[in-house]
Amino acid sequence: MATCKGTVYFIGAGPGDPELITVKAVKILQKADVIVYDRLVNKDLLNDTKPLVELIYCGKLPNQHIIPQEKINEILVQHALKGRVVVRLKGGDPSIFGRVGEEAEYCVNHDVRYEIIPGITSGISAPLYAGIPLTHRDFSSSCAFITGHKRTDEGGPEIKWEKLATSVDTLVFYMGVGNIALIQEQLIRYGRPKHTPVGLIRWGTTTSQETLTGTLEDIVAKVSEVNFRSPAIIVVGDVVKLREKLAWFENEACAHFPIAK
């Protein structure tokens, strides 16, 4: 008898706020038989699933993977080959440093049907919730997303610092807090002015959101001083200046209760 194959859905869960997920993604979550989810996924998204859904946690801490990537690939395909609806729930957008390309390739290699449903990436949403739009007519006409997780001497594609430092107005680094000193060093070395504004946003779009600002010259010291930790997005560029005026989310609670004079 031929095997009844299921489908793997790669879904972007958004940046943390559970309301920032697409309608299509919610509909598929409600019919999922198996959900393989990451550490940064808001667990509230798992509340409205089927009663007997199988939940598999495969969260990753820096330099520590609960389940190796190769095993995650196998889990997705094994369940799909049993005819199940499988959801691979990833924080943010699955295509922005989410390894969806590798997992989708594995499905193709095993003749398993899949769909990719985009999500709102934290590199856009966290800065916006901190009052930092990535582009602005007066400050930025270009932006780039860069992984800050891996040093260039540890293998993988190298960051071309000499081109990146001054060719793009706004730089957005993911997973870069642990390498903030390297980022500072390389950008200054290749021509980014020391006075360039920098913003770090931790747990963006959630009630735990924290923002730290400075310049390329002093940001490493500030991160160390307050022990600023991941998960955080790093924004480098003049758009960070807008935060002082546009920090709507963190100030929202105070907006309804003006300070008496």
Task: Report the chain's C-alpha Rg in angstroms.
Answer: 20
What letter does residue 151 receive in the DSSP assignment? -
Q: How many angstroms separate the CA atoms of 132 and 124, rounded?
A: 9
In the set 5, 60, 150, 222, the catalytic residue is 60
What letter does residue 140 receive in the DSSP assignment? B
- How does DSSP assign 60-114, residue by residue? EETTEESS-HHHHHHHHHHHHTTT-EEEEEESB-TTSSS-HHHHHHHHHHTT-EE
Q: Are 62 and 158 within 8 A, CB to CB?
A: no
Kindly report the number of other CB atoms within 10 A of residue 125's CB atom: 22
In the set 17, 33, 169, 175, the catalytic residue is 175
In the set 17, 33, 38, 93, the catalytic residue is 38
Active site residue 38: yes
Active site residue 71: no
Active site residue 31: no
Catalytic residues: 38, 60, 175
